[in-house]
Structure 1
Amino acid sequence: MILHISIDAHNPLQVATALAEVFNGKVYKFFTPGSYIVMPFDKYGTHIVVFKEGDVWVPGTDAESARVLQAEPTKLVANHAAISVPTTQKQIEQIGQREGWRVLTRKQGDGVPFSAIEFWVENRILFEFLPPEFTPQYLQTMQSQTIEKMFGQPIKLVPV
């Protein structure tokens, strides 16, 4: 279970505010200047940290914890997340359209294994949002029998 993730954004406050609306959550200033945390206060402690564009996590040295440094921003990123949200498909689409971000509702059977709403934050970071009516279908798709039909048998790991 993923409990929290971090992303960067050109306009962190705008992004955090839009995500808080999708999650029915609240926005707070985070520890790193110019960054925000979105808290929906669900039973899992889920949250999203929105850093300023170019902020990246770097490992610490020896016993030092990871820290955030400024790096060269990138246009697109490989990471994405599928997240169950309490809002409706229509609300999610309206929020994305209002922000000028790409929003596409994909339906199971149209070349995808489960229904989800592609929500492209700042048209560069992909979230797949699953409103309440989409979540049971996703959970059914993620069962071992279905996964093995899609991907085949799991790879047998050999100890090194």
Structure 2
Amino acid sequence: MTDLVAIGHELNDGVGDAVARIILLALAQSANLVFRSIHGSVLENDTIYVKLSLTQFVPHFMWGGMEPDHGGCMLFHMSIAAHDPQHVAEVIAEFWGGEALAFPPVSENGWIALANDERCTALEVFPIDTVLREAEGDADAYGEATGLVGFTATHAAIATALTQRQVMAIAVREGWPAKYRNRGGMFGVIEIWIEGRQMIEVLTPDMQAEYKSTMSAANWRAMLNAAGAAAALS
């Protein structure tokens, strides 16, 4: 795998850092490169030294921990509905160590929880009776109030840096039902029912490792084949 190392000019006020990151992301995506580290003038074996001609200086910075995207597959954001969108968005942001902001494009009183991670992960939270509708012509989809409230098939599994004890404490504070569950002997989750109606699975670092080690297409196919073989013998 090729490392991409960028050398820039260090600015005391940090101006240009965001620009540098955007440019480096574009370079990496267009050249199918993977970031190992970006750090001043430190060069490792098999790296490429890249000089950028910019209208703005690029400061020194380090950015590590980005994993290969394997084709760019990623769930960037999704949406759910809640009785109190602002509060639910704030609690989700708390799990992530991010922040919650108003999100008016789709519906009034819409909110969004932002993880502030390198993938720009987000969860939009709309008023409880909102459904998404297709807009005719050159217009974006919009939210429509239906007056209907109920359970939903939609759920999400999200990662957190918090411990199981900390996650459970937040659920207890909110009055949201929560319990640890092991999904099929494959990986653990903290099953939380937001406002008593919307399920979300929160995975601590240990649970995330379990998930990543089991939830592959190959493993899932093997499990289905094993289940089919067992059914055939019964």
Aligned alpha-carbon RMSD (Å): 1.7
Distance (Å, rounded) in 1 between the aligned partners of 2:182 and 2:77: 26
Greater Rg by CA: 2
Residue matched to 2:218:
145
Residue matched to 1:156:
none
Runs of 4+ residues deviating >4 angstroms: none
Going by fraction, where is strand more abundant, 1 or 2?
A: 1
**1:88-114 deviations in Å (ceiling 9; x for gaps):** 211111111111111111136xx4431
**1:67-104 deviations in Å (ceiling 9; x for gaps):** 11111332210011112222221111111111111111
Instruction: Report the more deviating stretch, 143-152 or 74-83.
Output: 143-152
Q: Which of 106, 119, 123 does residue 48 from structure 1 map onto?
A: 123
Q: Report the residue type matching 1:126 in the other structure.
A: M
Distance (Å, rounded) in 2 between the aligned partners of 1:57 and 1:51: 10
Q: Which of 197, 211, 222 does residue 124 from structure 1 map onto?
A: 197
Q: Report the residue type matching 1:140 in the other structure.
A: S
Corresponding residue SS for 1:49: strand
TM-score (norm 2): 0.60
Distance (Å, rounded) in 2 between the aligned partners of 1:66 and 1:33: 14
CA-CA distance at 1:65 after TM superposition: 2.0
Q: Report the residue type matching 1:81 in the other structure.
A: A
CA contact (8 A) 2:89 2:111 kept: yes
Distance (Å, rounded) in 1 between the aligned partners of 2:90 and 2:168: 15
Distance (Å, rounded) in 1 between the aligned partners of 2:222 and 2:148: 39
Q: Which of 145, 159, 163 does residue 88 from structure 1 map onto?
A: 163
Distance (Å, rounded) in 1 between the aligned partners of 2:131 and 2:171: 25
CA contact (8 A) 1:106 1:112 kept: no
Distance (Å, rounded) in 1 between the aligned partners of 2:224 and 2:147: 36
Corresponding residue SS for 2:187: coil
Trace 1:7-156 onto structure 2 (pairs within 5 A). 7-31=80-104, 32-107=107-182, 111-152=184-225
Work out which structure has the larger RCO, using CA pairs closer than 8 Å and 6 or more positions apart in sequence.
1
Percentage of pairs with the same residue: 32
CA-CA distance at 1:63 after TM superposition: 3.3
Q: How many residues align?
A: 151
Is 2:79 aligned against 1:6? yes
Q: Report the residue type matching 1:57 in the other structure.
A: L
**1:121-159 deviations in Å (ceiling 9; x for gaps):** 111111111111111110111123321122239xxxxxx
Q: Specify whether residues 72 and 151 from structure 1 end up closer, same or farther in structure 2 by C-alpha distance, changes over 3 A only.
A: farther
CA contact (8 A) 1:22 1:91 kept: no
